[in-house]
């Protein structure tokens, strides 16, 4: 498959603009996917910029390898989660990074693949296994979670990750149904959702929220994001920039709160008259609001509709020298 068919990069111009790339930069793409953003970032750092791309999905890495082959040794790809960014970059000696991009969630390719279980298309529901893993090395499939999680765990995921009304009813119905036979296919899950008669709210079909909740639980997405953001901030050189594209409000809230916290520095309670935590700001926010896709982009790529881009720049610390200054 040609790289450009794999996934259309979202907010491409906007993320390049905010990362302010220059020749020779060291760049990390924490979610390389089909390599669309990575290719553009490598071009923006011509002729000698270097990039390390991470992905948990070997199929994505294969597509990115093909697409980025023309850049030769300027690129290295890692089958790893961005939550392991610190360890991987240290092992590779890829330190004091100038720019990091995290383009979160699943790619169009993953979403549309009938065998991966991310979607609930009627025509393939009977034969699609409840998988939803981005990383096939993991043993944590959706079917397994649905079989092994307690009713309380299921309810919590459905409420917190799906913001589903009727989370308890659905969790109890799942437990009831699985006593008879395990839920194996997308059809099995759709039938349980219909049986529990949960509501999806004004904007969503209930199954959309249930699938979102399960996908987040299967891939431990929110914890990975918290750790990945922390690791990314640590890895940046002073003056280095981080850009994150989120696709739903749970992700975006984590990104917003993390960047604001790091831009504020002090984490003492607001009523405390004197700071005792001694934490200094590590980031400068680039823009107060998230950047949204243009109407033109959402018209030509409806998957971009929910995207929010937030960015920040790493501040110098008292003992650090900017790699841009010493380069």
Ligand X SMILES: C[S@@+](CC[C@H](N)C(=O)[O-])C[C@H]1O[C@@H](n2cnc3c(N)ncnc32)[C@H](O)[C@@H]1O
Residue 47 preceded by cis peptide, ω within 30: yes
Identity of the residue, 40 or 151, whose beta carbon is nearer to ligand X in the bound complex: 40
Which of 7, 119, 308, 314 contacts ligand X by CB under 6 A? 7
- What is the distance between the terminal CA atoms of the chain, rounded to a whole angstrom? 38
206 binds ligand X (CB under 6 A): no
| Numbers of helices and strands, H then E, in the chain | 15, 7
Return the closest-CA partner of residue 241 out of 280, 282, 279, 281.
282
57 binds ligand X (CB under 6 A): yes
- Bridge-based pairing of strands 236-246 and 308-314 is antiparallel
Q: How far is the CB of 89 from ligand X (least distance, A)?
A: 13
Identity of the residue, 186 or 307, whose beta carbon is nearer to ligand X in the bound complex: 307
**Shortest-Cβ-distance residue relative to ligand X:** 33
Secondary structure (3-state) at 128: coil
Residues whose CB falls within 8 Å of the CB of residue 36, separated by 6 or more in sequence, listed in order: 3, 4, 6, 7, 8, 9, 12, 67
x/- map, 240-279, ligand X, by CB under 6 A:
----------------------------------------
x/- map, 216-245, ligand X, by CB under 6 A:
--------x---------------------
117 binds ligand X (CB under 6 A): no
- The token duo for 260 is 């604001």
- Name the strand (E) or helix (H) holding 179: helix 167-180
105 binds ligand X (CB under 6 A): yes
Which of 25, 54, 71, 161 contacts ligand X by CB under 6 A? 54
Q: How far is CA 242 from CA 48, 210, 286, 293, in A?
A: 20, 31, 10, 18
Identity of the residue, 190 or 245, whose beta carbon is nearer to ligand X in the bound complex: 245
Other beta carbons within 10 angstroms of residue 163's beta carbon come to 17
Q: Which residues on adjacent β-strands are paired with residue 312?
A: 242, 285
Pick the stretch among 101-109, 233-241, 259-267, 272-280 that binds ligand X (CB under 6 A).
101-109
Identity of the residue, 224 or 283, whose beta carbon is nearer to ligand X in the bound complex: 224
- Name the strand (E) or helix (H) holding 28: strand 26-29
Which of 45, 81, 141, 173 contacts ligand X by CB under 6 A? 81
9 binds ligand X (CB under 6 A): yes
Q: How far is the CB of 105 from ligand X (least distance, A)?
A: 5
Total residues binding ligand X (CB under 6 A) = 23
Identity of the residue, 57 or 262, whose beta carbon is nearer to ligand X in the bound complex: 57
162 binds ligand X (CB under 6 A): no
Residues whose CB falls within 8 Å of the CB of residue 67, separated by 6 or more in sequence, listed in order: 3, 6, 34, 35, 36, 38, 39
Residues in contact with ligand X by the rule CB under 6 A = 7, 9, 30-31, 33-37, 54-57, 60, 81-83, 103, 105-107, 134, 224
């Amino acid at each position: 498959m040609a790289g450009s068919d794999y996934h259309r990069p979202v907010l491409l111009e906007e993320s390049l603009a905010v990362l302010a790339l220059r020749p020779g930069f060291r760049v990390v793409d924490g979610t390389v996917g089909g390599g669309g953003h990575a290719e553009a970032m490598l071009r923006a750092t011509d002729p000698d910029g270097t990039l390390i791309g991470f992905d948990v999905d070997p199929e994505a890495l294969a597509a990115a390898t093909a697409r980025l082959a023309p850049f030769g040794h300027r690129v290295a790809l890692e089958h790893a989660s961005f939550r392991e960014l610190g360890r991987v970059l240290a092992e590779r000696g890829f330190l004091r990074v100038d720019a990091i991009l995290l383009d979160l969630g699943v790619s169009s390719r993953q979403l549309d693949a009938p065998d991966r279980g991310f979607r609930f298309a009627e025509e393939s529901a009977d034969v699609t296994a409840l998988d939803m893993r981005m990383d096939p090395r993991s043993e944590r499939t959706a079917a397994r979670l649905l079989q092994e999680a307690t009713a309380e765990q299921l309810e919590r995921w459905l409420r917190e990750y799906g913001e589903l009304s009727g989370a308890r009813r659905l969790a109890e119905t799942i437990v009831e149904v699985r006593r008879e036979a395990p839920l194996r296919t997308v059809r099995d899950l759709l039938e349980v959702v219909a049986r529990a008669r949960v509501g999806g709210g004004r904007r969503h079909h209930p199954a959309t929220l249930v699938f979102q909740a399960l996908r987040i639980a299967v891939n431990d997405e929110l914890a990975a994001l918290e750790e990945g953001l922390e690791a990314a901030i640590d890895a940046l050189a002073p003056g280095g920039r981080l850009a994150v594209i989120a696709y739903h409000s749970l992700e975006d809230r984590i990104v917003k709160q993390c960047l604001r916290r790091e831009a504020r520095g002090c984490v003492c309670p607001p009523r405390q008259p004197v700071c005792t935590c001694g934490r200094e700001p590590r980031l400068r926010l680039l823009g107060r609001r998230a950047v949204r896709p243009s109407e033109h982009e959402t018209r030509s790529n409806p998957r971009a509709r929910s995207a929010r881009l937030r960015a920040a720049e790493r501040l110098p610390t008292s003992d650090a020298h900017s790699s841009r200054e010493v380069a």
